[in-house]
Structure 1
Amino acid sequence: MKILVCADGSKRNKNSLEFAALVAKAVNADVTVLHVVENGVDESEEIFSEAVKIIEKKGVEKIKTRKLKGRADVQILKHAQRNKYDLVIVGSHGVQYLRAFLFGDVAVRIIEHIKTPILVIRDKRPKIRKILFCTGGSSFAENAVRFGSNIAQTAGVKATILHVIPELPAMYRGFGMGESLSEFLECNTPECIALKRAAKILEEEGIETEVKLSHGLPSEEILVEAEGNNYDLIVLGSHGMSSPSRFLLGDVACRVVKYSKTPCLLVK
């Protein structure tokens, strides 16, 4: 696996570097540390030295560095696409271009066009022990489960699959809102099929898996589950959980990424 790690030199970027190293070590990946010089003083050598030191400390051996110049979000996208990385890792804090990358107009363009899974990291996580997989009844969700299973299997972690039944308008309440997990699993809906398929994928990889069902607003339920049970990674399909055609700022996955303290892996 080839992983691209974006380094900006900020204090908070250390969190993303350390977690990136955990992932890279788990899957025996080759790591490229990328720094984009937008303007001002070129501090790439210092940034690379610190980044390599952090990643090597976690036992990762194959590390390269790459410096580019220009607008950071554009350069990240171009470099990721040209070099066919399997995963791009960014921090949600740090310099302003990463904020724009995630939540501005630039983010919409990047996430619409990039095919590479993206791991977004905010707070520090010392280990990868528990992964939360979120299903949405689409091929995008299955892609996310398959990709995330590689990390879960090699890291030897526990997995939880969460499916959220969205709130219904008042006139329809009572339909399915009190449904238990066992009742839901007896259905033949696309959502039920996707949930059972996700469980099968993980179990076939030998991953200890728990299935959960929740009712409410999907983004809120995911955040509550993640924070309440101290997960180390959330895995989401970046399409299909809310909008079938494009990733909008109002979509479930984006709201989870924006507000979650837990690292989030978005997979198309």
Structure 2
Amino acid sequence: MKILICVSRFPFAKATLQFGGLIVGLEQSEATVLTVIENAAERPLAEATLAQAQAILNLPDTVMKIRQGSPTNEIIRETNDGQYNIVVIGDHILQGFFDRFLPSLAHRVADRTAATMLIVKEQPATLERILICTSGRKIDKTVVQMGARLGLAATAVVTLLYIADPVPAMYTGLDSMDESLADLLRSNTPLARHLNWATGHLQDEGVSHNLVMRRGVIADEIALEALAGSYDLVIIGARAGSNFWNDLLVGHVTPQIVDKAPCSVLIVRTNKPNKKKKKK
């Protein structure tokens, strides 16, 4: 496992380094810290930033790198050249009025990388409560497995969240329409089999966990659950090789999940199942 931690300037880089260092320790990974400069005149400041980053991480054999050019392009190049499994980047901080209408650096990198990506918010680097979001599809197994691995390593409490379609107002209160989680798990549907597999996997891995089903708009319900449960990390999935913003696995929703979440978000890249060829 190789992890790339991308930083710019302090004090904003501190949260990114702390959470990135936490994941490096839990995954027992190789770590590289990257900062990008626009011109050679910025190199002394970049070197000072990396020296401070090294002191904060306090991890042996951490590689420090400086690249010159566009931050988005250089992060992507380093990710591809180094074949990193996880890229860690800080959440975007608005600096001006027009900035709110532009994609953040984290958004742009997520749109172009095939690596799993951790977007760090400004918060203490703790990992006691993890929220795993699943669409209920087989492809989300990778998301559940990643969450289980981190949960076990951190001895965290894990919640598996599934968002169901909202019940139409005209059917509210009717038992036939308002299916409970228990009813769902007893049904022999692909969704039920996936949820039963996921909870079984967490159980087999020895991870303290629970399963929650909410109804409503996916991005909103994930944000509400993350806030209500005081989670430290939300884990979602996106297909490898796809356009991140158009193909999030959690119900094919927009990047509002990342923007609305009150905590850090781990975007796990998954592989699309191979379709069986039809016999002629």
Give me the TM-score of the superposition, normalised by structure 1: 0.85
CA RMSD of aligned residues (A): 2.7
Say if 2:144 is the partner of 1:142.
no
Decide whether the 8 Å contact of 1:21 with 1:55 is kept in 2: yes
Higher relative contact order by CA 8 Å / sep ≥ 6: 1 or 2?
1
SS of match in other structure, 1:188: coil
Q: Secondary structure at the match of 1:206?
A: coil
AA aligned opposite 1:48: L
- The corresponding residue for 2:105 is 101
What is aligned with 1:18? 18
Q: Distance in 1 between matches of 2:231 and 2:197?
A: 22
Aligned twin of 2:117: 118
The Cα of 1:261 is off from its aligned counterpart by: 2.2
Task: Note the residue ranges of structure 2 that are not aligned, 5 or more in a row.
Answer: 270-280
After superposition, the Cα gap between the structure-2 partners of 1:175 and 1:143, relative to the gap in structure 1 and judged at 3 Å, is: farther
Q: Which residue of 1 aligns with 2:81?
A: 82
Match of 2:253 in 1: 252
Deviation at 1:75, TM superposition (A): 1.4
> Based on CA coordinates, which of the two structures has the bigger radius of gyration?
2
- Write the mapping of 1:59-74 to structure 2, written as runs, cut at 5 A: 60-74=59-73
> Within the alignment, does 1:44 sit opposite 2:46 as a pair?
yes
CA distance in 1, matches of 2:116, 2:131: 16
The question of whether the paired residues in 2 share the 8 Å contact of 1:93 and 1:99 is answered with no
Report Cα offsets for 1:112-131 as digits up to 9, x if no partner: xx221100011212421111
Rounded to whole Å, the distance in 2 between the matches of 1:108 and 1:85 is 14
Deviation of 1:171 (Å):
7.2
After superposition, the C-alpha distances for 1:138-161 in whole angstroms (9 at most, x for unaligned) are 344211111222211111111110
Shift of 1:203: 1.7
TM-score of the superposed pair, with normalisation by structure 2: 0.82
Q: SS in structure 2 opposite 1:248?
A: helix
Q: Which residue of 1 aligns with 2:182?
A: 182
Across the two proteins, how many residue pairs are aligned to each other?
A: 256
CA displacement at 1:257 relative to structure 2:
0.7
After superposition, what is the alpha-carbon deviation per residue over 1:176-204, rounded to whole angstroms, capped at 9, x for unaligned? 75221111111233322222222122222
Aligned amino acid, residue 67 of structure 1: I
